Amino acid sequence: MSDNTEIIGLLQRAYNHELEVVTNFIANSTNLDGIRAEEIKKALAADVAEELSHAQQLANRIKQIGGLVPGSGELNFGSLPQPPKDTCDVIGVIKGVIDTEIAACKLYNTIIKATDGIDYVTQDLCITLLADEEEHLVLFRGYLKEYERDS
Segment 12-31 mean pLDDT = 98
CATH of the domain at 101: 1.20.1260.10
Is the sign of the CA dihedral 135, 111, 57, 70 positive or negative? Answer: negative
Whether residue 1 is predicted with pLDDT greater than 60 in this model: the reply is: no
Domain limits at 69?
Answer: 5-150
How far apart, in Å, are the Cα atoms of 55 and each of 13, 39, 74, 126?
10, 25, 15, 11
Provide the 3-class DSSP secondary structure of residue 5: helix
Provide the pLDDT for residue 149.
Answer: 83
Whether residue 2 is predicted with pLDDT greater than 80 in this model: the reply is: no
- Counted domains in the chain: 1
For 39-84, the pLDDT digits (tens) are 999 999 999 999 999 999 999 999 999 999 999 999 999 999 999 9
CA angle 136, 90, 25 (to 5 degrees): 50
Whether residue 150 is predicted with pLDDT greater than 80 in this model: the reply is: no
Provide the pLDDT for residue 147.
Answer: 87
For 78-120, the pLDDT digits (tens) are 999 999 999 999 999 999 999 999 999 999 999 999 999 999 9
For 132-149, the pLDDT digits (tens) are 999 999 999 999 999 888
Alpha helices in the chain (DSSP H): 5-31, 38-64, 90-115, 120-150
Q: What pTM did the predictor assign?
A: 0.94
